[in-house]
Amino acid sequence: MFVKPCSRIVSVALILLAFAFAQLPANGQEKNDRAKPTPESIAKGKKIYKIDCAMCHGENGDGKNDMDMKNVPDLTSPDVQAKGSDAAWFDIVKKGKGDMPPEEPRAKSDDDIWNLVNYCRSLAKK
């Protein structure tokens, strides 16, 4: 059977696209390279938080700050904690979102960002 060259290109492109999507994690699935939420990881994240995050998110993560900033998420809130997977939080912390600057230029490694996510998750009201 004769296949037009254009059809072959489209077929190959679709196969490559399907392969690329197959490599992506399922929605909400954790990244495989994350730092586990151990007491050590949380302690490391707390140090980073106090330097880079507390000025806006508050010393305790409650969104209360001395800078009179509005619309800062209360990281202790169950509603905020329920929004997004840890992988989504990682991406927000790394790249920034809205007025929140990215942590990426300051972080030494992705582990630093994971430690920060682990600490922020530990702030959840019990």
Contacts of 66 (CB under 8 A, 6+ apart): 55
Query: 82 in helix, strand or coil?
Result: helix
- Confidence (pLDDT) at 66: 85
- Confidence (pLDDT) at 31: 53
- Confidence (pLDDT) at 84: 92
pTM value > 0.85: no
- Confidence (pLDDT) at 67: 86
- Confidence (pLDDT) at 43: 97
Q: Average pLDDT by consecutive 10-residue portion of the chain (126 residues)?
A: 54 43 42 80 96 94 88 94 94 93 88 96 89
- Confidence (pLDDT) at 120: 97
- Contact between residue 95 and residue 110 where contact means Cβ atoms under 8 Å apart: no
- Confidence (pLDDT) at 5: 57
- Confidence (pLDDT) at 14: 41
Helix locations, the chain, DSSP H: 5-23, 39-52, 54-57, 78-82, 86-95, 110-122
CB atoms within 10 A of CB 123: 20
Query: Which residue's structure tokens are 């430690």?
Result: 115
- Contact between residue 104 and residue 110 where contact means Cβ atoms under 8 Å apart: no
- Confidence (pLDDT) at 4: 58
Cα–Cα distance for residue pair 106/48, rounded to 1 Å: 10
